[in-house]
Amino acid sequence: MSESLAARAAALDAADELGKLREQFVLDEGVVYLDGNSLGALPRAVPGRVAEVVAHEWGELLIRSWTESGWWEAPERIGDRIAPLVGAAPGQIVVGDSTSVNVFKAVVGAVRLAGAGPGGAVRDEILVDASTFPTDGYIAESAARMTGCRLRPVDPASVPDEVGPRTAAVLVNHVDYRSGRLQDLPGITAAVRGAGALAVWDLCHSAGALSVGLDAHEVDLAVGCTYKYLNGGPGSPAYLYVAARHQAAFDSPLPGWNSHAEPFGMRPGFEPAQGALRGRVGTPDILSMLALEASLGVWSDVSVDAVRAKSLALTDFFLECVRAHVPAGQVELLTPSDHAARGSQIALRCAGASSVMASLISRGVIGDYRAPDVLRFGFTPLYVGFAEVERAARVLGDVLG
C-alpha cells in the first residue's frame, strides 16, 4: 500500500501545473511544511526587495520615497493586487493595520450603515459566529458596547434563521480556524442582506486558498490577514474591503489623518476621503507593506480556481493516506469530507495531540496544535506537493503506531 501511494504521489506531482511555483519559496527540502494556514513560507523575492527598500528608498531617498517610490499609494495599490484573489474589482480594498483593527472598523462601520429596520425599528443587534476566532469575538463585543447593540453568538449555519429586523450586522469567519469548515458565504450573505442587515466576513483562512467572490455574492464588508496563504510575512498588514456601493457612506470609527480628504491640510475638523481610502487610519507600515507587495508577485498568472482544485486534491489524498497509514481509531476527522464545506486544512482529533504534534515536528513534519486535542494541517497549494502529503501521513502513522 505504501509503495502504491508513493507512486501515485509521484505521478500527481509530475502532473501538477502549480508544482513549479515551489521554487519561488524558501523551503527546506527535508521538511514538510503544513502550517501555511498560520504563517506562509518566505517567497524568494522578498529579502532582496526589503533590502532595496531599506538601503535605497529609506537609506538614500529618505522622505522623498513617499512620493518618488510610491509609498503613499501603497495601501490602495497593494489592495488592488489582492482584489482579484478574493473576487473584488479594483478600488475596494485598502491594506493596513491588523486584522483586529480592521474587524473593529468593519463591524462598527456596518452598524452605522445599517440604518433603521422595517417601520423604523431600531437595529440594535450584532450576530457573531459562535465558533469565531477569539479576537473577532472580543472585537465584536467591544463594537456592540460602543454602538449600543446586543451581541448574540449563533452557529453560522443558523444565521438565515436568526437574522431579523433588529439585526444591524453579522460577522462570520469564512473558514473555521479549528475545524477547517468552509461556511456558506453566498447563502449566508444573501440571507443577511435580505433581512436588511450587513454581512461582514473574516477571510483569514480562505483568501489565497479558494475562491471567495466578494463582488459576485454582494458581500458588504470583509477583512483578512496576509501572512497565511498570501505569504506576506509575520505580522504583515491586513486589509479591509468596503463594497463600492457603501463607500460614500462608510463611517469609520477610527478616522485618522491618512483617511482625511486633505491629509496634509492639518485641519482640525475631519472630512473623510473618497473611496476605499476611508479605511486608512495612520501612517502605513512601509517595510512590512512592501514585503507583502513583493510576496504577491508569486500570484502572477496563477488561477485561484487552479489553487482550489489542487487544495481539494491535496486534502483528499492526505485523508486517503491517513486511512492507509494511521492505525484505526487513533484519530477522528473534524473537517467536513464534503468539498463544498472544506477549506484548505485538515483537523484531526487525537489523544495527546500536543505531544503528537511535537513528535511530528521533531521528524520534519510541521503542522500545529489547537487545545485541547486537535492536530491541524494546512495545505498551501503554491508550494505543498503530493509526495510531502504522503510522507506526512506516513510519519503520523509511525508516531501513533
Is residue 36 assigned to a domain?
no
Which neighbouring-strand residues pair with 126? 151, 169
Of 234, 265, 299, the residue at which a domain comes to its end is 299
318 with 228, same domain: the answer is no
* Mean pLDDT of all residues in 279-296: 97
Q: Residue 266, exposed/middle/buried by CB under 10 A (0-12, 13-18, 19+)?
A: exposed
Q: Where are the beta strands (DSSP E) in 225-285?
A: 239-242
What does the alpha-carbon distance between residue 220 and residue 113 come to, in Å, rounded to a whole number? 10
Rounded Cα–Cα distance for residues 226 and 296 (Å)? 10
200 occurs within a structural domain: yes
User: What is the mean predicted confidence (pLDDT) over 379-386?
Assistant: 98
pLDDT at 3: 76
Domain end marker among 272, 299, 326: 299
pLDDT tens figures, 169-186: 999 999 999 999 999 999
CA angle 356, 28, 285 (to 5 degrees): 95
Nearest-CA neighbor of 123 among 149, 142, 104?
A: 149
Same domain, 225 and 344: no
As a whole number of angstroms, the distance between CA 109 and CA 279 comes to: 10
CA distances from 210 to 29, 63, 104, 264 (A): 26, 39, 25, 40
CATH of the domain at 313: 3.90.1150.10
Task: Please report whether residue 317 resides in a domain.
Answer: yes
Are both 128 and 56 inside the same structural domain?
yes
Confidence of residue 2 (pLDDT cuts 50, 70, 90): low
pLDDT tens per residue across span 322-363: 999 999 999 999 999 999 999 999 999 999 999 999 999 999
Task: Write the CATH number for 70.
Answer: 3.40.640.10
Please give the tally of structural domains in the chain: 2
- Which parts of 237-352 fold into alpha helices (H)? 286-295, 304-325
Helix then strand count (H, E) for the chain reads: 12, 15
- If you search the block for the grid coordinates 531599506, which residue do you land on? 54
Same domain, 66 and 100: yes
Banded model confidence at residue 319, pLDDT cuts 50, 70, 90: very high
pLDDT-based confidence at 1, cuts 50/70/90?
Answer: low
Domain that holds residue 295: 51-299
pLDDT, average across residues 12-26: 97
Shared domain for 213 and 100, answered yes or no, is yes
User: Does residue 382 share a domain with residue 240?
Assistant: no
44, part of any domain: no
Residue type, 120: G
Q: Once rounded to an integer, what is the mean pLDDT over residues 64-87? A: 98
Same domain? 295 vs 306: no
Residue at 269 is within a domain: yes
Which secondary-structure segment (H or E) carries 139? Answer: helix 134-147
Which pLDDT tens digit goes with each residue over 53-70?
A: 999 999 999 999 999 999
What is the reported pLDDT for 37?
97
Q: How confident is the model at residue 278 (pLDDT cuts 50, 70, 90)?
A: very high
Is 40 a member of any domain?
A: no
Domain termination site, one of 299, 322, 347: 299
CA pair distance 383, 59, nearest whole angstrom: 34
Phi and psi torsions of 286, nearest 5°: -65, -45
Q: What is the mean pLDDT of residues 26-33?
A: 95
346 shares its domain with 289: no
Enumerate the active-site residues. 133, 202, 227-228, 376
pLDDT value for 295: 98
Per 3-state DSSP, what percentage of the chain is helix, strand, and coil (rounded to 5)?
A: 45, 15, 40
Residue listed under C-alpha cell 511535537: 358
